[in-house]
Chain A
Amino acid sequence: MHRTVPSLPLAPSVKVKLINAGFQVASDLIDMRPLQLCKEAGISQEEAVEVLQMLRDDGQPHQQRAATESLTALDLLHQEQALGSIVTFCSALDDALGGGVPVGKTTEICGSPGVGKTQLCMQLAVDVQIPVCFGGLGGKALYIDTEGSFLVQRVADMAEAAVQHCTLLAEDTEQRQALEELTVEKILSNIFLVRCHDYVELLAEVYLLPDFLSEHPEVRLVVIDSIAFPFRHDFEDLSQRTRLLNGLAQQLIQLATQHSVAVVLTNQMTTRVSNGQSKLVPALGESWGHAATQRLILHWEGLRRLASLYKSPSQMEATIQYQITVQGFRDAPDEPRPTPATSAVSSPSGNHSKHPRMEDRS
């Protein structure tokens, strides 16, 4: 191994002692026995055992492969096509996102209270379970709730609507068979719910997620609703908060990539005052903006709900309109209907936003 000792993931005090004893490269250490290392470097026996264990694990083919094997972009292309995405049942949003919420990436949903972030998360938890023959992923969902806003009755309504939608689409026998197994009870039983009360519980839960995902390889979606709530009160040291959030973001993207799950985070909004004007911006600070791979901002415009794709590595920026109905997260109707709509919010006539809109988001 060509690793230098200062670059190994060990405690700093142990590393200082090893370096002072003259060990510079990992290959110097590999053939040593614990007692020998103990005497030469002046570290305790437990520390010596830990060091050698870590080096042995590092030499394992699995670990080596992660750091050394490179994929060509062509292989990555095939992998991405195989991963798929989770539909949101709002076709305008799906088009803007390039098919839906992508699996293997982190997506952040920001919005003011009541605009529909939790509704979208619950819709995604139902949509991830749509069987493969209908074009879905047929996977399970893990819902980490920090605010206590998860309502089972609402998810049941959405699940009911999803099953009805699939029933209308079923054409061949394979789909009809899959439909028999798709019941509201089954959908509810495939959502794992975790309730975290403060940031320590949240950090602990994310730390335990790799083991959980290894035991349940069918999980395709992890929702954290919301990630802002536990970090926005109770924190005196803001720089510590930034560090914790950055570490958390890296852990989440690692999970997303290694276990092929889509990670969805919800964020709140805060007001930023600059040049005498105030703007609504996503909370948790400037550096948190870099954390998620994709960022979706939901906002109001009068009575209409709009979603803007603010940051994405593969899609162009776009703003689309959506609405929340009894059935869940849906497209906004293009024209005003003559009959009273079943929607909770009716869109006013006028500007039809099939085209992405260029306007100020404040």
Chain B
Amino acid sequence: MVILREGICPGINEEFIKALQSEDIKTVEDFVSCNPEELAQKCSLSYKALVAVRRVLLAQYTAFPVSGADLYEELLSSTAILSTGNPSLDKLLDSGLYTGEITELAGSPGSGKTQVCFSVAVNISHQLKQTVFYIDTKGGMCANRLLQMLQSKTPNMEEQMEALQKIKVLRVFDVFSLLACLQNLRSNGLQKASVGGGSVKALMVDSVSAVLSSMLGGKQNEGMSLLMQVAGELKMIARDFSIAVLVTNHVTKDGNGHLKAGLGQSWSHVPRTRVLLQRIEGAETSSLRTATLTKSSRQACHLVEGFDLCHWSEERRTSISGKRKLEERSKP
């Protein structure tokens, strides 16, 4: 709903607006949904002027339809697939994170969501040499750990520093700051970053449930609206700038005691792909994890892949050699 102000189109001046307001017409919507003849009689404004203004406003504010073929061409030329660096996870995600889409990682505490985000960020900034924006809402961002990961990929200090500079961190701790941050990114942050060198290809939000879960439920009536606003901003950023968005979510238990991703049914429609991370039963202290595909528009659901958080770029070997590797690492 756009408010009627003088200057939004030629022909609208102060008296015009006053006359319309006396008939309780304050927004463009109200104006175009009224009959110009009746309006001309009630407000004593010229019929021609009203029709002219109406035409201009309609032209300015309507959305135009796009043909499917054009849309497909656009998608082919603008979508990119970003590999996560881990072959098992790539297999699960159908070769990687797709730009223009939201992917969600859910898991219980300590299941490795933040570590997976770090690994993906490091892979994108070092291997693919693109800029990554990382929005941290839980204080889990640890640049030391990023450096550790980079050091295992390359011994060259310069490359490490360059990769670290391509990861930009924003720290917000409540939903209103998150919305301010996303809106600012959308309006000028992302363009500035791409001008600097290295286009922005990925945005990570860790985690989206930390800021939203305290606003949902009970007698609060704003929670759903804020959830949908966050979803809307993320989708618009993903689409308009061809960026892959990766968000993390917490888990809750459903009626049967099984794990499911948090934030409820409404949020479940927002990400295009959802992955559930879990520790392996019986090997609770190892770094092995399983990822289950719970929602995807490209692959069959409930695909499971195992991987090792410590050995990100390697194929998952059999469990025996995985444990042996673990014992090697644990020696001081």
Using CB atoms and an 8 Å cutoff, list the residues of chain A in contact with chain B: 2-4, 6-9, 12, 19, 21-24, 28, 40, 58, 66-74, 76-77, 79-80, 98, 104-106, 237, 239-240, 242-244, 246-247, 249-251, 253-254, 256-257, 274, 286-287, 289-291, 293, 295, 308, 310-311, 313-314, 316-317, 319, 354-361
Contacts and interface: CB of A to CB of B under 8 A. Distances in A.
B251 interface: yes
A250 B210 contact: yes
A21 B2 CA distance: 10
B3 A23 contact: yes
Given A77-B147, A316-B329, 20 more contacts: A58-B180, A67-B170, A67-B184, A71-B169, A72-B167, A74-B161, A98-B144, A105-B139, A106-B139, A250-B137, A250-B211, A251-B173, A256-B139, A286-B250, A287-B213, A311-B109, A313-B141, A319-B285, A358-B286, A361-B284
Contacts of B216: 243
B168 interface: yes
Given A7-B179, A77-B147, A80-B144, A287 B250 contact: yes
Q: Which secondary structure dominates where chain A touches chain B?
A: mixed
Contacts of A311: 109-110
Interface stretch (B73-81, B94-102, B218-226, B264-272): B218-226
B140 A7 contact: no
Contacts of A19: 1
B182 to A, nearest CB: 9
B253 interface: yes
The 6 tightest CB contacts between A and B, nearest first, are: A289-B109, A22-B3, A7-B179, A311-B110, A77-B143, A254-B173
B214 interface: yes
Q: Which secondary structure dominates where chain B touches chain A?
A: mixed
A12 B177 contact: no
A287 B169 contact: no
Interface in B179-215: 179-181, 183-184, 186-189, 207, 209-211, 213-215
Given A12-B222, A21-B3, A253-B138, A3 B180 contact: yes
B330 interface: yes
A239 B183 contact: no
Contacts of B3: 21-24, 28
A355 B332 contact: yes
Contact of A355 (B139, B226, B330): B330
Given A68-B189, A295-B109, A80 B142 contact: yes
A258 to B, nearest CB: 9
